Amino acid sequence: MIEPVEHSAISEYRFLVENHLRVIYPEIDHSAFAQTLIDIMAPDGNCQTPETHQNHWDQRDTVMITYGDSLLTEGQPPLETLLQFSESFLKETINSIHILPFFPFSSDDGFSIIDYGQVNPKLGNWDHINAIADEFRLMSDLVINHCSSQSEWFQQFKRGESPGKDYFFCGSPDDDLSEVVRPRTNSLLQRIDTPEGPRYAWCTFSFDQVDLNFANPHLLQEIVKVVKLYLDHGVQIFRLDAVAFLWKTVGTNCLSLPETHELVRLFRTLIQFVSPHAMIITETNIPNRENLAYFGNSNEAHAIYNFSLPPLLVNALLCGSCQHLKTWMMSMPPALHGTTYLNFIASHDGIGLRPAEGLMDEDEINNMVSMMEQFGARISMRSLPDGGMRPYEINISLFDAMRGTLDGEDEWQIERFFCAHAIMFALEGIPAVYIHSFLGTRNDQVAVEQTGQNRSINRHRWDYDQLQTQLANEKSTHARVFKGICHLLKVRRRQPAFHPNATQFTLHLGNSVFAFWRQSMDRQQSIFAINNVTNQEQIVPLSEINLIGTDSWVDLISGELYTNLRGDLVLKPYQVIWLTNLLQQT
């Protein structure tokens, strides 16, 4: 008698997980291990088949990026202060919060995790995380390329004890590692004396951040337990930190290897069958073409960081030309439904330069680096295979990066800052705004001196009472910046043409005006985003924009109505116009 074929979500779940495992671990019992992972993720057997090509986002989505302790109130857990600020000031502006690693750590401001299962007690506890997740869509880092040298797993490694002794990737001083791509200048291998003799732990980022060995399926099993824990505490967006380095094979560049991509697919499958609206975002600070590969066939990342945007946009405003920005945008494929871009121009790190390679020439990058240094930036370097070094990242507050142009500082800093954000908000994708961009925070040179870390320049910790005083003073720079950014976002979230997957076309209005067209998916609303990227007035004939004469047109930002379609747009320095057909402005 032929057994009936089981058609259910759980059988499909098992089938897909087994297929991923066959690629990653050809030698193991795929069926048994797939069941082990599914038992972790869906212990009661409840799951549902996710819809394919489904957008779990729209124009109302905006993410705020923040550390758990960016805002401090004496006697109060910082996570509680963060929730108070977000509810009081941002409830009508954002709907998602990315709290950078909130776990016990030993270095790198959280990205060297000691214990994946605990909240850093200096920030609060799981109750505080749950409270934030109740009010906002919570995004958390899944820092799994490496963990802290102070973790229990690594202590076991040093003692030669299980399970940790097999959880870390090791190399040999005799290996040919000349092709390995990495973002740091320190030595790759760290000698560790163990009871079995010396072992050489692989450290992509620092000796305190020791790379995990995903060739060991038992390690993967432990990481899946971490994923389930985060889901149970309300995490809905998983940021896969430094995921491009996840799988190592000696003799290769150890970057974005096939097994890495398959692991991302596996994590997506494991998560979406138990939480269909959850998202995976890959953090891959690598050249643009390699970054795009993390969409897979709409079966890897739901969203990828648009890493090329920050350096190209800063450069456009610095030199007053959007040539490279236009060329890049025309080369970017529209994201298929079920995938999108995560747009950002400032973060806890800095302005990455690798994503600009191949888009800007070396002299242009060096000119940008030199001017940013004049605006107070610190420059982080990376090692090259030939032993040389190259700028890897510009560490600077974005507000200070907008001080001027290649000609030096000028009076247009705030206007330039708004222009940068308005461009980001109008582009295809979900915008992510760093908390210090909301607040117009400047370079924190004192923090750099205290920590010795370049990235501390853009990781200021605000006294919350002092911040509230600044925001209450309408004349303060911080209040002006906050009000302006929030205004743009409140306008944005009402426009269906700003849906992350709405149609986008680049317009050609010269290199001084960066312009593009967005159209809502129902084709009812058009928005022409027209941006003067220079410190000089620019004139754009409306006839060049090809507006439909039967519609009325209005600038969503200023409210100005345009009735003479044969006239001109006169753009002040760094002015932005979101020109839309009138009936769709609310």
39 catalytic, yes or no?
no
How does DSSP assign 121-137, residue by residue? TTT--HHHHHHHHHHSE
Beta bridge partners of 561: 554
Distance CA 284, CA 263 (A): 14
The two three-digit tokens of residue 119, written as one number: 């909240």
The full 3-state SS of 144-155, as one line of letters, equals: CCEEECCCHHHH
Distance CA 271, CA 47 (A): 10
Distance CA 63, CA 369 (A): 28
Amino acid present at 329 = M
Q: Is 94 left (phi over 0), alpha (psi -120 to 50) or beta?
A: beta
494 in a labelled binding site: no
Report the candidate in 315, 352, 355 with the shortest Cα–Cα distance to residue 331: 355
193 in a labelled binding site: no
* Integer angstrom CA distances of residue 406 from 317, 397, 534: 9, 17, 11
Catalytic residue among 241, 400, 444, 555: 241
The two three-digit tokens of residue 181, written as one number: 């791509």
Distance CA 51, CA 55 (A): 9
348 in a labelled binding site: yes
CB-based contacts of 451: which residues, under 8 Å, 6+ apart? none
| Residue 224 three-state SS | helix
Distance CA 525, CA 520 (A): 5
CA 466-470-474 angle, to 5 degrees, is 160
Distance CA 445, CA 456 (A): 8
Looking at the chain, how many residues does it have?
Answer: 586
239 in a labelled binding site: yes
349 in a labelled binding site: yes
CB atoms within 10 A of CB 204: 24
Contact between 344 and 309 under an 8 Å Cβ cutoff? The reply is yes
Contact between 100 and 141 under an 8 Å Cβ cutoff? The reply is yes
436 in a labelled binding site: no
146 in a labelled binding site: yes
Report the candidate in 194, 155, 198 with the shortest Cα–Cα distance to residue 173: 198
Distance CA 173, CA 212 (A): 18
CB atoms within 10 A of CB 184: 16
Report the candidate in 330, 344, 209 with the shortest Cα–Cα distance to residue 283: 344
30 in a labelled binding site: no
CB-based contacts of 220: which residues, under 8 Å, 6+ apart? 37, 214, 263
Contact between 248 and 170 under an 8 Å Cβ cutoff? The reply is no
Annotation: binding site for substrate: 108, 146, 239-241, 348-349, 455
Residues belonging to the active site: 241
Annotation: binding site: 108, 146, 239-241, 348-349, 455
